[in-house]
Amino acid sequence: MPARNLVDKEVSVPEAIVRVLEEAGVDFIFGMPGGRTIPIYDALYDHREKVRCVLVREEGLATIMADAYGRLTGRPGVCMGQAAWMLTNAGMGLLEASLAGSPVLVLSDLSDSLYFSHHAPYQTGCGDYGTWDARNTISGYTKQTFVAREPAAAVQVTQLGIKHALTGQPGPVAVLYHSAALAARVGPNTTPHLYGTSPYVQSERQCAVPARVDAALEALRRAERPVVIAGNGVRMSQARERLLAWVELLGLPVATTATGKGVFPETHPLALGPFGNFGLEAANAIVAEADLVLAIGTKLGPTDTANENPKLLDPARQTLVQIDIEPRHAAWTMPAEHCLIGDAGAVLDQLMEAARRAGLRRNDAASARVAAAHRSKASFDVPESSSDESPVLPQRLIKELHRAVPAGATITCDGGENRLFMMHYFQTKPGVEYLQPAAAGGMGYAIPAALAAKLVRRDDPAIAVCGDGGFAMAMNGMMTARDEEIPIVAVVLNNSQLGWVRHGQGERPIASRFAEYDHAAIARAMGCEGIRVERPDELRNALAHALSCGRPTVVDVVTSERYTYRDVTSPLAKYP
């Protein structure tokens, strides 16, 4: 089909940019109006039926919402605001997106003053003498950064920004507009010519070389104890159903990485749960004894592999098959005998077709091996899960949360010790999505991620689980929840400290304690629901009310500090 014009008559550059976003299927923009982005917000006024602008109280929440949106949908999450603050306050969310491979589009400006930028006016980020350098500030944690100084370029690099965010391994891309470009107009005769957006966002699911698929399948046929390791790439490929079909076809045990937690239901008979530094003993044991490891959508970084401990993963004694969209990731941290370069979902389709064609048989004994590992090794259920001790043990809270959360819910976690407890003890059910900042590990992630999840999955609950440190960083997100009528639930593990830091300091604690706060009262002061829980027997009713009341709610649980990150750290992580 011949290319079509983007515009058939002259329009403002901001209007053309918004048309690009609309044609690309962008339905939310997270951010704060400011600086030279205000003309783009003004153009969005006439597109409110298709593109919703979600106002946050601080730019960092916008980038985390964009990251979570990208992970959940596979489409770019868009965040927008003034450069000086979008590129500084918002750094944590962009760093997480960069390391996790989430498609994010940052729309910002140079905070310039048109003709006077070379004279260092207020806030200017052009990089000239006396100004700060917006491009270099953000390019360290983006996949690509574009600067648009001309009218047509402003429109085209918006299209290219979407394309680059999605191509290959996804990632965050920034587009910085000069005020001169935004103040101009473009039309059907603009040079360079402006075409419709659809060719920029076309993406075919890349398949692996068929001969390599056949070779990997032959290795799998010969294996006696194969295991699958699923990473965040399965989520980004929207390939969870394919993964489920593949492992059920052949009867393959499944462990996940930290960022991959949630891509396979942990109540499934073939589910091992997370492996690695903070993984379950059952998962690490089955992975360690495997003779073939099929790694799907994971870089197999040191945190996943217990610091590359050969007792867990060892290419000298195990056949490693790696599927990844990015060729540089395959055989990166350790040599893989079979590298299948392609989209996780597309390659899984290839493997299933080849397995059926070759008549491979299902291993019916695998589920029994998984069950035996969970019985004999430390797993999701521990005696503390039923403890009536006060303050509430994290294990008891997490078990009650597991019982309360319905299928289809999204759990979002925060940085810190609370995230490790959740990763270790929370068992995901079918249909439950699970997001955590396991790539960079920044605090303040859970609440904005839950806001995005509730917007994407409107009919299902979104529950943010955070420590009191992370809640303090992002509690203004509850104001956004109230303002924008987004009924999320925030569950706070309140032990009045930075748990991971405090427990790591041993007998020399410094700058790791908080005063005691009633976060439920703070929530009520914001106009949200707030429930204070001090005893385990209060948990069930508190969670039930929070999930059913239809309002933004904070459940503040006074938790014990008796258990630490060391209790969920694998002995294998002491290597080397």
pLDDT digits (tens, 9 = 90+) for 102-152: 999 999 999 888 788 888 888 899 999 999 999 999 999 899 999 999 999
CA angle 145–147–152, rounded 5-degree value: 125
pLDDT digits (tens, 9 = 90+) for 457-485: 999 999 999 999 999 999 999 999 999 99
Nearest Cα residue to 130 out of 140, 120, 145: 120
The two domains 11-201 and 210-376 share their CATH topology (first three levels equal): yes
Q: Is the pLDDT of residue 202 over 80?
A: no
> How far is it, in rounded angstroms, from Cα 159 to Cα 197?
6
- Looking at residue 201, its pLDDT comes to 87
Superfamily of domain 210-376: TPP-binding domain (3.40.50.1220)
Q: Which residue has the tokens 């589009």?
A: 105
Of 84-98, 154-168, 186-200, give the lowest mean pLDDT range: 84-98
Length of the chain measured in residues: 576
- Looking at residue 395, its pLDDT comes to 98
**DSSP code for 167:** S
CA dihedral 466, 470, 475, 476 (to 10 degrees): -130
Nearest Cα residue to 59 out of 491, 482, 476: 476
Task: Give the count of alpha carbons within 13 A of 463, CB side only.
Answer: 28
Q: Is the pLDDT of residue 203 over 80?
A: no
> How far is it, in rounded angstroms, from Cα 309 to Cα 277?
10
> How far is it, in rounded angstroms, from Cα 425 to Cα 396?
10
Q: Is the pLDDT of residue 1 over 80?
A: no
- Looking at residue 323, its pLDDT comes to 98
> How far is it, in rounded angstroms, from Cα 501 to Cα 482?
32
The average confidence (pLDDT) of the chain is: 96
When pLDDT is averaged across residues 160-169 and rounded to a whole number, the result is: 95
Ordered by start, the domain boundaries in the chain are: 11-201, 210-376, 383-568
Superfamily of domain 383-568: Thiamin diphosphate (ThDP)-binding fold, Pyr/PP domains (3.40.50.970)
Q: Read off the pLDDT band of 449 (50, 70, 90).
A: very high
**DSSP code for 197:** S
CA distances from 217 to 113, 293, 318, 507 (A): 60, 12, 15, 53
- Looking at residue 546, its pLDDT comes to 98
pTM for the model stands at 0.97
Instruction: Classify 11-201 by CATH class.
Output: alpha beta
Q: Which residue has the tokens 């239809």?
A: 550
- Looking at residue 386, its pLDDT comes to 96
When pLDDT is averaged across residues 421-426 and rounded to a whole number, the result is: 97
Q: Read off the pLDDT band of 2 (50, 70, 90).
A: confident
> How far is it, in rounded angstroms, from Cα 487 to Cα 454?
8
When pLDDT is averaged across residues 149-175 and rounded to a whole number, the result is: 96
Q: Is the pLDDT of residue 200 over 90?
A: no
What tokens appear for 430 in the block?
Answer: 């079918």
Residue 414 Cα to chain centre, angstroms: 11
> How far is it, in rounded angstroms, from Cα 557 to Cα 372?
34
pLDDT digits (tens, 9 = 90+) for 492-520: 999 999 999 999 999 999 999 999 999 99
CA distances from 554 to 122, 407, 529, 531, 551 (A): 40, 21, 6, 6, 10
**DSSP code for 35:** G
Are 121 and 93 spatial neighbours (Cβ–Cβ below 8 Å)? Answer: no
pLDDT digits (tens, 9 = 90+) for 21-74: 999 999 999 999 999 999 999 999 999 999 999 999 999 999 999 999 999 999
3-state secondary structure of 352: helix
Tell me which of 436 and 201 has the higher pLDDT.
Answer: 436
Tell me which of 394 and 91 has the higher pLDDT.
Answer: 394
